[in-house]
């Protein structure tokens, strides 16, 4: 949940963004004259192997400050002629506010800002990724002034935390396509929601695989499989009615099947009693479990469709 920051909280929160980063930090600010507190955090981050990217407004840094920052091997510096945003973030948190990294004013100006957090029960994932998209656009239109040692060694310039959300799921997409063999799933992203889709999976059926976690946040495991029969509405209503009258889905061990309305998707979950540690299990193993359950549901659907003389 977003947290309001005043002047004093903003300084402390920026320091925490740097300190708590896993490996990467981005600082976007028009004017910069780093205070001793934040300079110490920036130096310490380098000692801990963290990379920092600083984007500032062109010609707004004095010679002494530039010399000090150029000495830091873990710091990449870009300048932008029109940047006026103040944004500081790592892999999990972001500050958007009014405060520059300008030491002399940290105790004088009245400042306001918000702290966004992601990957939690009350996370701000959508806001974080919306702001990340704009931050990426600022970086893309900036000029590189200095590369860190690591960026010099890389073939492709960039930070992992700036990648689109779906890029973090490419390796999972590869695993899914290995497991499903001739069925090819494509990765999609919309409004910060990421999923895999195979359409068509069969002539009259599409399949989506949705990522998630115990708290329904995006995570690197499989939350559920969704099936969508693609038949006429009157046929779909008949299929739905017979599907539940046969009640065969209660016989699939470890799998919960939901189909609340004939126009809705059929959703398949792992049973929490049988798999209490589902989201901590191996992703490939979970894919095989849900694939097996899904195939049993699909076979049941095909039997009914044949009975109804619906072409499959």
Cβ burial 99-112 (10 Å sphere, 16+ → b, else e)? bbbbbeebeeeebe
Across 74-78, 131-135, 252-256, 259-263, the highest mean pLDDT is recorded for 74-78
Q: How many angstroms separate the Cα of 122 from the Cα of each of 3, 211, 265?
A: 11, 18, 27
How much is the average pLDDT of 17-36? 93
Query: Could you tell me the CATH superfamily of domain 3-160?
Result: Endonuclease Chain A (3.30.870.10)
Per-residue tokens: 146: 């200095």
105 has pLDDT over 90? no
Largest CA distance in the chain: 81
Specify the pLDDT at position 36: 85
Tell me the average pLDDT of the chain.
Answer: 89
Which 3 state secondary structure label does DSSP give 206?
A: strand
Which 3 state secondary structure label does DSSP give 60?
A: coil
Burial class (CB in 10 A: 0-12, 13-18, 19+), 275: middle
Which 3 state secondary structure label does DSSP give 179?
A: helix
Whether a cis peptide bond, with omega within 30° of 0, leads into 200 is: yes
Specify the pLDDT at position 123: 66
Q: Where in the chain are the domains?
A: 3-160, 165-307
How much is the average pLDDT of 162-169? 78
Confidence band (pLDDT; 50, 70, 90) for 198? very high
How much is the average pLDDT of 185-197? 85
């Amino acid at each position: 949940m977003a947290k309001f920051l005043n002047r004093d909280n903003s300084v402390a929160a920026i320091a925490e963004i740097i300190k708590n980063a896993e490996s990467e930090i981005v600082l976007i600010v028009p004017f910069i004259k780093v205070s001793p507190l934040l300079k110490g955090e920036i130096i310490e981050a380098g000692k801990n192997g963290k990379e920092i990217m600083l984007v500032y407004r062109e010609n707004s840094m004095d010679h002494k400050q530039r010399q000090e920052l150029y000495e830091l091997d873990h710091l990449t510096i870009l300048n932008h002629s029109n940047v006026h945003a103040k944004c500081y973030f790592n892999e999990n948190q972001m500050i958007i506010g009014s405060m520059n990294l300008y030491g002399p004013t940290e105790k004088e100006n009245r400042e306001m800002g918000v702290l966004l957090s992601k990957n939690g029960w009350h996370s701000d994932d959508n806001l974080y990724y919306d702001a990340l998209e704009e931050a990426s656009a600022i970086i893309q239109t900036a000029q590189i002034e200095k590369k860190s040692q690591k960026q010099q060694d890389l073939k492709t310039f960039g930070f992992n935390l700036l990648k689109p959300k779906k890029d973090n799921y490419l390796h999972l997409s590869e695993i899914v396509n290995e497991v499903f063999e001739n069925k090819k799933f494509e990765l999609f992203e919309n409004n910060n929601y990421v999923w895999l889709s195979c359409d068509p999976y069969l002539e009259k059926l599409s399949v989506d695989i949705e990522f998630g976690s115990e708290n329904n946040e995006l995570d690197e495991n499989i939350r559920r499989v969704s099936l969508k029969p693609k038949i006429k509405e009157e046929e779909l209503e008949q299929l739905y009615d017979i599907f539940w009258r046969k009640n065969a889905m209660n016989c699939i061990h470890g799998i919960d099947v939901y189909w609340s309305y004939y126009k809705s998707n059929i959703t398949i979950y792992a049973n929490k009693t049988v798999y209490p540690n589902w989201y901590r299990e191996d992703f490939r193993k979970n894919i095989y479990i849900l694939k097996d359950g899904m195939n049993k549901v699909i076979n049941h659907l095909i039997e009914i469709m044949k009975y109804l003389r619906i072409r499959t």
